[in-house]
Amino acid sequence: MKMKDTLTWRDIQETPALLEAFTARAGGLEKTALRGGDKSVYLVGRGSSGTATLFAKYIWEEYAGTITNFIHPHSIFEARKPLNFKGAAAWAFSQSGRSQDIVACLRRLMGWGARGVAVTNEADLKKNPLARLAGRHILLSNSRELPVAATKSFILQLWAVLWTAQAWSRCFRPADFKAAVKAAAAAVNEDYGGDELVRRVKRANMLGFVGRGAFNAVAEDSALKFREMAMAHALGYSAAEFLHGPVGAYTKKDLVFLFSPSAAVPEDIRRVMTALDGRGTPYKVVLPPKGVKFPFNCVPVDIRMKLLALRLALARGLDPDNPHGLKKVTPTF
């Protein structure tokens, strides 16, 4: 199978245009992007959508003055007494809008007084129970995503998070969004690291992805894509979490990607480099492309990693669109 024959590659190629299309509709967030009266929100999601909520926590708390809380469905379903969510804003992220546990969780929260917001990539409300339930729907795109691994939909979730922060606090410049789209357009055509990097990744027994702040979410989702598409043993961490124990599992036979938010590598990533040097563990520092600022440079870096996971899957003779044993909508409830 050639890369350009995969649906995954086509989805990634489509991403820059979809970012622009979302930007054209971003004014609608003024009405749909709810917060509680105390400028707080509650977030729930699974898989890549769950990782997108991690990105939202970093962005909304750092830039938009919004306390961002995570909901764990298990505790909601097992709650012995009703919880007071009166007036709260509960955001549910789901690519398809059909994740049964996420729908059920949001229904329980709304029954306890929360107002719902659905973030999905499904425009057809007949096929989107989450959006119907919430009554407020942030549509990522009108382009269906068929491969199992979320690529364009995850990047669009990051984009929706950035635009929501802008709607709430005007914390970014219009030029920041334009620069990110330009960088994304370059990234989808980039052969990042070339064949040599693919060989290094293929040889590694275990892969690690380490980021700080918003890049922690990129690290987590990058690891997920390598697991899904390429059957790689891959895990994502924050820089601090990695040093709190996981670094102990990495050896000379592994490879760790370190995401830097700028050309000047920050001290906490340098501490990870020092720890890996002491263990003889190979690593690659991933610097963001020039011309786009943090946190917007998370977008092109994420595209690089998704394309690298795709290239690894093909190098291993795997079908990245339909990994064995996985489904686009995962029944867990």
Q: Residue 330's pLDDT is what?
A: 79
Q: Residue 292's pLDDT is what?
A: 98
- Is residue 99 a contact partner of residue 127, using CB atoms and an 8 Å limit? no
pLDDT tens digit at each of 333 positions of the chain: 899 999 999 999 999 999 999 999 999 999 999 999 999 999 999 999 999 999 999 999 999 999 999 999 999 999 999 999 999 999 999 999 999 999 999 999 999 999 999 999 999 999 999 999 999 999 999 999 999 999 999 999 999 999 999 999 999 999 999 999 999 999 999 999 999 999 999 999 999 999 999 999 999 999 999 999 999 999 999 999 999 999 999 999 999 999 999 999 999 999 999 999 999 999 999 999 999 999 999 999 999 999 999 999 999 999 999 999 888 887 776
183-315 and 3-172 share a CATH fold: yes
What is the CATH T-level fold of the domain 183-315, as seen in this structure? Answer: Rossmann fold (3.40.50)
What is the CATH T-level fold of the domain 3-172, as seen in this structure? Answer: Rossmann fold (3.40.50)
Counting Cβ atoms within 10 Å, is residue 264 exposed (0-12), middle (13-18) or buried (19+)?
Answer: exposed
Q: Which two tokens stand for residue 223?
A: 């690891």
Read off φ and ψ for residue 210, nearest 5 degrees. Answer: -125, 130
Q: Residue 115's pLDDT is what?
A: 98
Model-level pTM?
A: 0.97
CA dist 8 to 13, 173, 295, Å?
9, 31, 25
Q: Residue 1's pLDDT is what?
A: 84
Q: Residue 329's pLDDT is what?
A: 82
Q: Residue 332's pLDDT is what?
A: 76
- Is residue 77 a contact partner of residue 320, using CB atoms and an 8 Å limit? no
Domains of the chain, by residue range, sit at 3-172, 183-315
